[in-house]
């Protein structure tokens, strides 16, 4: 039986996409920060689904629905997946920017507090 090398490569791509979706879910669980982050996982899963539907359409596995499978797998799902990934990454970006602000504010304020408390202490000495 001859296996089309293109089909094999596409199936490998689907497997890698599923692994990528798992890793993005693990990252979400690490922080459990925001359900926005789950949108990235869903986006990657939809890419895997789109690739699978494209393979089914490409190899005419369901002849009655080839056009619909092509449209869904190559247009509708990639658009949806892209929106979900963009939303998820935007959520992550917001969170990381917030962490940076918190980090800088904590450092700056504690150092200023020390200077202030130190100078009051010195003024109090006779």
Partner 1 sequence: MGITIYSVNPTNYFGRVIEIFKHESMGTVPIYITLNKPYIEIANVLRSHGFHPERVFFIDCISKQVLGHNAAAPPNCIFVDSPGSITAIGISATQAAKAAGGKKLIFIDSISTMLMYNDAAVVGSFCNFLLSRLRAMGVDTVVLVLESDFEKGVVKHIESLADEVKK
Q: Does 26 bind partner 1 (CB under 8 A)?
A: no
Of 33 and 70, CB closest to partner 1: 33
Spatial separation of the C-alpha atoms in residues 63 and 82, rounded to whole Å: 28
Q: Does 4 bind partner 1 (CB under 8 A)?
A: no
- 21, 44 Cβ separation under 8 angstroms: yes
Quickly count: other Cβ atoms within 10 Å of residue 43's Cβ: 22
Spatial separation of the C-alpha atoms in residues 116 and 84, rounded to whole Å: 48
The residue length of the chain stands at 126
Q: Which stretch binds partner 1 (CB under 8 A): 36-44, 46-54, 65-73, 100-108?
A: 100-108
Rounded least distance, CB 121 to partner 1, Å:
9
Q: 3-state SS of 26-38?
A: HHHHHHCCCHHHH
Q: Does 97 bind partner 1 (CB under 8 A)?
A: no
Rounded least distance, CB 96 to partner 1, Å:
10
Of 23 and 99, CB closest to partner 1: 99
Q: Which stretch binds partner 1 (CB under 8 A): 4-12, 51-59, 67-75, 92-100?
A: 92-100
- 37, 88 Cβ separation under 8 angstroms: yes
Can you give the binding site for partner 1, defined by CB under 8 A? Answer: 31-33, 95, 98-99, 102-103, 105-107, 109-114, 116-117
């Amino acid at each position: 039986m001859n296996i089309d090398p293109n089909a094999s490569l596409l199936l490998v791509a689907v497997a890698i996409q599923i692994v990528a979706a798992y890793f993005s879910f693990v990252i979400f669980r690490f922080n459990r920060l925001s359900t926005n982050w789950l949108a990235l996982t869903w986006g990657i899963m939809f890419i895997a689904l789109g690739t699978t539907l494209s393979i089914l359409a490409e190899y005419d596995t369901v002849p009655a629905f080839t056009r619909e499978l092509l449209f869904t797998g190559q247009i509708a799902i990639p658009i949806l997946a892209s929106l979900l990934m963009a939303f998820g990454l935007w959520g992550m970006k917001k969170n990381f920017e917030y962490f940076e602000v918190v980090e800088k504010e904590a450092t700056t304020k504690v150092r200023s507090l020390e200077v202030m408390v130190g100078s009051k202490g010195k003024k109090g000495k006779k």
